[in-house]
Amino acid sequence: MVKFADNFYFGSATSATQCEGAHTPADKGKDIWDVWFEQEPDRFHGGIGPDTTSTFYEHYKTDIPLLKATGQNSFRTSISWSRLFPEGRGKVNEKAAAYYRDLFEELRKNGIEPFVNLFHFDMPAALQEIGGWENRQVVDDYANYAKTCFELYGDIVKRWFTFNEPIVHVECGYLTNYHYPCKVDPKAAVQVAYHTALACASAVKTYHELNQGGKIGIVLNLTPAYPRSSNPADVKAAEIAELFANKSFLDPAVKGEYDPRLIELIKEQNLMPEYTQEDLATIRENRVDFLGVNYYQPVRVCARASMPNPEAPFMPEYYFDHYEMPGRKMNPYRGWEIYPKGIYDIAINIRDNYGNIEWMITENGMGVENEDRFRENGQIQDDYRIEFFKDHLTWLAKGIEEGSNCIGYHVWTFIDCWSWLNAYKNRYGLVELDLKTQERRIKKSGLWFKELAENHGF
């Protein structure tokens, strides 16, 4: 049997933008997703935007019993910055403040530990207008927003996250034209990454000063970088991919510093951000208490086969090519490789290279298209998802057995939710959402998850 500790956190994650709905001006100011959808609705699968969600804002009281019905003792969601502060700063929206208060209280009443994240790709539109994370001022605005959240909810929320997958708003927003503001500007990308690390440290500092007796961490999507072969050129390619994809946020958050090899590469590309010694000291002195890891896929790389185009804007791929391993197992709907052993490699990396800091899996899951075809007697029989969870949990348990300090496993996601550009194309939930009627139905994996939690293993 694969066994976990009695106090292991079993649960799921979602984010405000992806589940809440309620986008009227009285409820929420605009964020970059609202603005982008107004401007370019065709970039979203099926033309479905962020205002079409699983309406958690309206239904949380009846959704929380479903958390219990699927055996969850913990749950992560995020606070929407632009709901709490419609302008990103200034006056708090009291209705929003009351909503989050009631949500966290309701979770507690039901014996579910809330894990609360402060930023999940959702910059308030008013702050994007002044440059978003490119602007140092926004770091202070974020620190103020974070402080407000701690003051409002610190008595009942004891597990905080500063950011979810910060590399995503850097890469997608400023390198690959995949998220708003759709810039391809490497210099801005580096500035944004640095300001994000600084914002994280600033929130950690404030949280520790308030002394509320909880813990604060960051959620990173770690994608272990594997070389095609042991050829030194391939190994070097993987080391560089690792620097950009993982160490860029892991090192400042956990160690308070940047890997000197990463700084060298950034200098080589003439992309050093503007910084002050005082801000560097903030990063150095304010490290996270624990770590959240989202794991979906590894990255496989090899040495570049051709010279980079000197006129092309910089991308980390300047230093490596992506490599498709023959025989790799794929999730064809999302186009992501499925490699369960990656979770074990992450566990060992954290144990050996990051002081064995306390950590947990904050997302792991499988998005599948047209799940309706798996319905039998009214219920979606998602055995593929159960198998996916089992394979990953088996490797996770091995990592823990070998001493890695992992305290929980959260799946993505609770109720099928809106997935950014993919909208409702791929479904990830333990609970099915009928988008038209808003009806919820527990999938087979939801019932399996309950058993998993009750038995502390499978």
Residue numbers at the binding site for ligand BGP (CB under 6 A): 15, 18, 164-165, 221, 294, 334, 363, 367, 412, 419-420, 422, 426
Both tokens of residue 212?
A: 């509320």
| Cα distance between residue 63 and residue 151, in whole Å | 26
CA dist 3 to 400, 412, 451, 456, Å? 10, 21, 12, 6
94 counts as catalytic: no
Exactly one of 134, 242, 337, 363 is catalytic; which is it?
363
20 counts as catalytic: no
Closer CB to ligand BGP, 70 or 364, in the complex: 364
Both tokens of residue 226?
A: 């594997």
| Cα distance between residue 289 and residue 277, in whole Å | 23
- Kindly report whether the peptide bond that precedes residue 181 is cis, defined as omega within 30 degrees of 0: yes
Helix axes 383-401, 341-353, angle to 10 degrees: 30
Closer CB to ligand BGP, 207 or 412, in the complex: 412
Closer CB to ligand BGP, 417 or 452, in the complex: 417
Smallest gap from Cβ 14 to ligand BGP, in A, equals 8
| Cα distance between residue 179 and residue 40, in whole Å | 11
Smallest gap from Cβ 299 to ligand BGP, in A, equals 14
How distant is the alpha carbon of residue 268 from its chain centre?
Answer: 30
Which run of H or E residues covers position 455? helix 444-455
Both tokens of residue 88?
A: 């990103």
Smallest gap from Cβ 86 to ligand BGP, in A, equals 22
Which run of H or E residues covers position 389? helix 383-401
Closer CB to ligand BGP, 15 or 93, in the complex: 15
Cβ-contact 99, 57 below 8 angstroms: yes
Exactly one of 165, 337, 371, 432 is catalytic; which is it?
165
Smallest gap from Cβ 248 to ligand BGP, in A, equals 16
Closer CB to ligand BGP, 279 or 371, in the complex: 371
Smallest gap from Cβ 306 to ligand BGP, in A, equals 30
Closer CB to ligand BGP, 279 or 363, in the complex: 363
Q: For 15-153, where are the alpha helices, taking DSSP H only?
A: 16-19, 32-39, 56-69, 81-84, 94-109, 125-128, 136-153
How distant is the alpha carbon of residue 183 from its chain centre?
Answer: 21
Cβ-contact 354, 346 below 8 angstroms: no
Sheet containing strand 299-302, strands side by side: 225-227, 299-302, 321-322
Smallest gap from Cβ 454 to ligand BGP, in A, equals 26
Cβ-contact 70, 413 below 8 angstroms: no
Smallest gap from Cβ 171 to ligand BGP, in A, equals 11
Smallest gap from Cβ 117 to ligand BGP, in A, equals 9
| Cα distance between residue 3 and residue 448, in whole Å | 15
359-363 and 336-337 strand pairing:
unpaired
| Closest CB to ligand BGP: residue number | 419
Closer CB to ligand BGP, 258 or 388, in the complex: 388
CA dist 75 to 143, 187, 390, 424, Å? 24, 36, 20, 21
Closer CB to ligand BGP, 80 or 426, in the complex: 426
Q: Which residues form the catalytic set?
A: 165, 363
